[in-house]
Structure 1
Amino acid sequence: MRKKPWNVLLSGTMVLSFFFCLISPSSAEEPAMSGNPIFTSMFTADPSAHVWSDGRIYVYPSHDIFPSRGSDLMDKYHVFSSDNMVDWVDEGEILRADDVPWGRPEGGFMWAPDAAYKDGTYYFYFPHPSGTNWNNTWKIGVATSDKPAADFTVQGYIQGLPGSNLIDPSVFRDDDGSYYLYAGGGAVSYGAKLGADMMSIDGPLLQFTELEDFHEAAWVFKRGSLYYLMYADGNPGANRMRYATSSHPLGPWTNRGVLLDPVSHSETTHGSIVQYKGHWYLFYHDAKVSSNGTLRSVNVAEVNFNPDGTIQKVVQTPDGVAAIGPRSYATEVKYYDLVNENFDQYTLKTEYAMDAGNVAIGGGATRSGGNVENMHNQGSYIQLSGIDGGAGGKALLTVLYASADNGTAFKVDASGDTAGDGYFLALPGTGGWGNYTGRANRLVDLNPGANNVIKLSGGMGGANVSRVIVSLVPAAGQETEYPVTGGNVTFGGGATRSGASIENMHIPGSYFQLTGIDGGTGGQALLTVVYGSADNQSTFQVHSSGDPTGNGYSLTLPGTGGWSTYTGSASRLIGLNPGTSNVIRFEGGMGGANVTRVVVKLNP
């Protein structure tokens, strides 16, 4: 990370969401992809990746807290893990500045960390100043646990290291079981062998003066008999990742060039390379989501080597990497999915006007003509209370707005947010303060029941808000009744409408059709037709949007004793697609039945 403090708060241009992964099976033809960034529950940077004995891959990043006031605020380390490179779990917070007894009184400055494992103990190494004069009081702290992602306790710090420019610790384990520490910043790079206690230096502290344009972010790994030292260079305004190789873990090093070009919207670069299940991966950060160099996100790419051991330049892609195992549990929603707006299953919508009784404003925000304005003011907010979270879990928040700014962002707080970091909602400009064409979406977490609160905080660019929509996924078993008099019902081929019924369905070619049917999350639904019939038995051919065969379904309607005896109820399972754009068509000509209602029950 950057040694120079950042004090400018910038706004973003895309949505970062915090939460739970939408798990769907992948096909052999199109393997599931991780998408980039891979962590979306918070802003993360400086990823250090390791594979432990449980077979999972763990990433230990730093944490860019939102809203940002620069790198001095960084704190509250989380750990993320996966067993297939696609489905990631936020294992939770493992350490914060308040846990460091020797740390600076003001806290913050929890910069790029790393981890190691030895003899049943996991070691977490983190840079943190011990004094208010942070630039000259850096320490490499050490915390330990018997778990890879929980219950870490600070044991102290490594003695005898320089206090200036000593950041970004990296620990490498060699094949013989020895461990080495690498650290440095401000164009100074150090390496040393670690003592048996993993908290002291065994031998001299070496300075790697031979590295070309070293800036910070050292990372060492080994492939075959060759040692690789990767680092961030000092390219002005757009650091690159360079690397060098050696036959010894402490050099001397031979410079090999650039392996990663500058990343999007971030001056800094920092990462790690690790082998997992036969593949080599580079973890790195960029700021494409936020357009703010102090609000970064972790990405991943596959690494390829040339026959001579040199590294092919890594290509940064939005697709990320392919799954290397079956789909599994995850807490991180893929940004790859979010940018494609795959929100069709959130069909239970509640709309809130900005002058509704449950909408409060403050901090300089004002109402004008039913809209909330002046959200550019620091401290401004819109708060909605009494929000129904259904059974709890994910909900889709949609904000309708106008903005003449180019990069506005709101901080969103919601009752069900367990991480407590809030959610980042970007509101791209619409070209004018009265141009209410903006529509910004993000997933938030709500508690069960109707007592949820959602708060939108401004101060990061301006946006005038006209409405807020909260959408839930329909619960299993939810029924929707469609009268045949509705505007979504059409008929033809001889079928007619009389009063509240569709009649003359005995005529060959007759049909009636319902559009805009809510399929929820998709899959099987129970279709029920309420009718009257003087025939002994009639049959409808039913076609629905989600029919996987395309052949339709046969629905038998026993007689009720009269055309106006509407006691008949015939049901069958059909397939529906996710969302509210489904069509169900009933074709007659095989006996008569007058239909008055159609009922669709989701996930029966």
Structure 2
Amino acid sequence: MRRRLSSLFLSGTMLLSVLVGFTSSSSAADPVVMSGNPIITSMFTADPSAHVWSDGRIYVYASHDIFPSRGSDLMDKYHVFSSDNMVDWVDEGEILRASQVSWGRPEGGFMWAPDAAYKNGTYYFFFPHPSDTNWNNSWKIGVATSTKPDADFTVQGYIGGLPGTNMIDPSVFRDDDGSYYLYAGGGAVSYGVKLGADMMSISGTIKQFTELQDYHEAPWVFKKGSLYYMMYADGNPGANRLRYATSSNPLGPWTNRGIVLDPVANSETTHGSIVEYKGSWYLFYHNAKVSSNGTLRSTNVDKLTFNADGTIQKVIQTTDGVPNVGPPSQATEVKYYDLINNNYSQYTQKTDYAMTASNVTIGGGATRSGANIENMHIQGSYIQLTGINGGTGGKALLTVQYATPDNGVAFKADASGDTTGDGYYVPLPSTGGWGNYTGQAKRLVNLNVGTNNVIKLNGGTGGANVSKVSVSLIPTTGQETTYPVTGSNVTVGGGATKSSTSIENMHISGAYFQVTGVNGGVGGQAQVTVIYGSADSQATFGIVAGSNTYSLTLPGTGGWSTYTGSVSRLVTLGAGTNNTIKFTGGMGGANVTKVIVKLNP
């Protein structure tokens, strides 16, 4: 956990040229994909605590550096991240914030390095938090519980009987006999104690570990074989390192063994966890590679190797990260390779917004100068774009065209689809001058379905003049979706009936069926195709899509079960997945088996 407490702002040049995308393959059937480092890119995270639970996933509980940075005091809103292959990471969402801690510091903030444990069907989340405005002398270790590893945590209270000073960075270890131990401490003081059966009280005497070499903060205890390991951050001035010690007992005494991790990029602090997953050992840690600011840190992971005598080889920090240990999986985190290499080639449906456009407003001190917007260095300045098309929702590519002679400039982007409320960090490296509009800052943001999205660029962290903003989507042109009429999103009425394979009795006056939840992509024309069989010479359906009505002629196929008929009609759909298409009968019969919708044909 960091100890620098003054308000800090971005400085230095962004580290944007060190990585080269890496994907290799051991065979066509067994591709090897690297995670890249950092592994968490949607927000700034530090102090990663990694655990493997019985569902087979690996979970990371991390602290949260909020941008724009205000130092350690602003840290809040814990998130959980998980993976089943070490490469594809999912942000499971926020699980706890300071305002939910009834006994906590009235001003909030100070939600520092956490940890988690599991016992008898309950997940325990341990977090340090002050209980008084005088934060430095009122630290407590809070406990929240849930029946889930990644949601629905409720604060139960805090662990009594602990010192109020330096009681930060809790770490909980489960021994082979089912006993649990709590470790904590900062400011060069380290403690350990056995937890009571309720996981919220202590059992026995608190042990202070005075034998640890240059202990500073961030304890982490694990066991391999019969040996207990204590990892911690040392006090190396300006560039802490991760050291470790070993013992034959979970409460020491400890034998110092050396350094696990050298100082990390652009951050004075270091903090990590060690865990085994699917046969390999890993070290999770943070650095400030993305921001070049030690108060805006990001979670990384690299492999850890033991020597035959149980000692640990120093971990080599990499930009490649670690290889996958399973097939491709769900992911919400964008790999850092893609962030810095601008691998956004699929986002080709682009809309440009001039800064003089009617849907662009400014405020907070930002000003227009001709076609450009200036004075974005002012605290509170902003540029806001309304009526943004998010298509079917999800990821969209935001591009800011800008000029700046400064280093360390960044905008915070807010977007309608951001469910975390954290915003997006948009770095703007120097272009060499206020009039040199060669800068293109790119960031994936989340948008909602449809055309009512808002994107807001917040300034106040260095200056940059903006000439244009672009929003790009993955095009849906040619995307085809089949809707079987037996699906749950297809309903009938007016005498029409569903059989096991088709909709029948559409010859009855007033008969209809409708398909709901139809994807209209970004909106516009779509080709609707009906697959059917008919013994009549000809039938006619009406089609209702939105406020428009269309007619569809269905020639006979020679039999009610001869499903060779296929007729199509262009209709107009709205953006997103909430479209309904209604087919009305009463003018000849046809049995329908499926409806196919092809977007923007």
Aligned to 1:7: 7
CA distance in 2, matches of 1:220, 1:85: 22
CA distance in 2, matches of 1:14, 1:325: 33
Aligned to 2:325: 324
CA 1:207–1:290 in structure 2 vs 1: closer, same or farther (change >3 Å)?
same
CA distance in 2, matches of 1:470, 1:14: 23
User: How far apart are residue 429 of structure 1 and its match?
Assistant: 0.2
User: How far apart are residue 368 of structure 1 and its match?
Assistant: 1.2
User: How far apart are residue 603 of structure 1 and its match?
Assistant: 10
Aligned to 1:556: none
1:82–1:88 Cα contact (<8 Å) kept: yes
Unaligned runs of 5+ in 2: 17-22, 481-520, 522-597
User: How far apart are residue 65 of structure 1 and its match?
Assistant: 1.1
* Residue-by-residue CA offset, 1:396-416 (whole Å, 9 max, x unaligned): 111111101011000001111
CA 1:27–1:402 in structure 2 vs 1: closer, same or farther (change >3 Å)?
farther
**1:25-424 correspondence runs (5 A):** 27=28, 31-424=32-425
* Residue-by-residue CA offset, 1:25-77 (whole Å, 9 max, x unaligned): 99567511111111112110001111111111111101111111111011111
Q: Secondary structure at the match of 1:293?
A: coil
User: How far apart are residue 478 of structure 1 and its match?
Assistant: 6.5
1:386–1:452 Cα contact (<8 Å) kept: yes
User: How far apart are residue 304 of structure 1 and its match?
Assistant: 0.4
**Matched letter for residue 162 of structure 2:** L
CA distance in 2, matches of 1:311, 1:230: 11
CA distance in 2, matches of 1:119, 1:33: 35
CA distance in 2, matches of 1:297, 1:122: 25
1:63–1:76 Cα contact (<8 Å) kept: yes
CA distance in 1, matches of 2:28, 2:319: 20
Equivalenced residues, count: 479
Instruction: Indicate the percent of aligned positions where both proteins have the same amino acid.
Output: 79
CA distance in 2, matches of 1:109, 1:361: 33
CA 1:29–1:142 in structure 2 vs 1: closer, same or farther (change >3 Å)?
closer
CA distance in 2, matches of 1:13, 1:124: 37
Aligned to 2:19: none
User: How far apart are residue 302 of structure 1 and its match?
Assistant: 0.4
1:81–1:91 Cα contact (<8 Å) kept: yes
User: How far apart are residue 196 of structure 1 and its match?
Assistant: 1.1
Q: Secondary structure at the match of 2:185?
A: strand
1:15–1:442 Cα contact (<8 Å) kept: no
Moved more, 335-344 or 125-134: 335-344
User: How far apart are residue 135 of structure 1 and its match?
Assistant: 0.1
Aligned to 1:474: 475
2:24–2:32 Cα contact (<8 Å) kept: no
CA distance in 2, matches of 1:238, 1:271: 15
1:35–1:334 Cα contact (<8 Å) kept: yes
**Matched letter for residue 62 of structure 2:** P
User: How far apart are residue 24 of structure 1 and its match?
Assistant: 13
Aligned to 2:552: none
Q: Secondary structure at the match of 1:313?
A: coil
1:55–1:83 Cα contact (<8 Å) kept: yes
1:180–1:192 Cα contact (<8 Å) kept: yes
* Residue-by-residue CA offset, 1:356-408 (whole Å, 9 max, x unaligned): 11111111111112111111111111111111112221111111111010110
User: How far apart are residue 9 of structure 1 and its match?
Assistant: 2.1
User: How far apart are residue 3 of structure 1 and its match?
Assistant: 3.2
User: How far apart are residue 12 of structure 1 and its match?
Assistant: 7.3
**Matched letter for residue 212 of structure 1:** Q
1:15–1:425 Cα contact (<8 Å) kept: no
* Residue-by-residue CA offset, 1:460-498 (whole Å, 9 max, x unaligned): 00111111111111014179xxxxxxxxxxxxxxxxxxx
Q: Secondary structure at the match of 2:204?
A: coil
CA distance in 2, matches of 1:2, 1:286: 12
CA distance in 1, matches of 2:116, 2:268: 25
CA distance in 2, matches of 1:355, 1:446: 23
1:14–1:425 Cα contact (<8 Å) kept: no
CA distance in 2, matches of 1:152, 1:247: 34
CA distance in 1, matches of 2:76, 2:254: 33
Aligned to 2:549: none
- Structure 1 length as normaliser, TM-score? 0.77
CA distance in 2, matches of 1:449, 1:192: 55
CA distance in 1, matches of 2:2, 2:473: 41
1:41–1:332 Cα contact (<8 Å) kept: yes
Runs (4+) of structure 1 moved beyond 4 Å?
A: 11-16, 23-30, 601-604
Unaligned runs of 5+ in 1: 17-22, 480-519, 521-600
User: How far apart are residue 290 of structure 1 and its match?
Assistant: 0.6
CA distance in 2, matches of 1:425, 1:314: 30
CA 1:15–1:100 in structure 2 vs 1: closer, same or farther (change >3 Å)?
farther
1:15–1:441 Cα contact (<8 Å) kept: no
**Matched letter for residue 113 of structure 2:** A
* Residue-by-residue CA offset, 1:317-350 (whole Å, 9 max, x unaligned): 1110000011111111111222221111111111
**Matched letter for residue 176 of structure 1:** D
**1:532-543 correspondence runs (5 A):** none
Q: Secondary structure at the match of 1:350?
A: strand
* Residue-by-residue CA offset, 1:126-183 (whole Å, 9 max, x unaligned): 0000000000000001111111111111111111110000100000001111111100
CA distance in 2, matches of 1:150, 1:392: 24
Higher relative CO (Cα under 8 Å, sequence separation at least 6) belongs to 1
- Structure 2 length as normaliser, TM-score? 0.77
**Matched letter for residue 154 of structure 1:** V
Q: Secondary structure at the match of 2:136?
A: helix
Moved more, 273-282 or 36-45: 36-45
Root-mean-square deviation over aligned CA pairs: 2.2
1:13–1:289 Cα contact (<8 Å) kept: no
1:391–1:449 Cα contact (<8 Å) kept: yes
**Matched letter for residue 470 of structure 1:** V
Q: Secondary structure at the match of 1:205?
A: strand
Q: Secondary structure at the match of 1:338?
A: helix
**Matched letter for residue 5 of structure 1:** L
**Matched letter for residue 10 of structure 1:** L
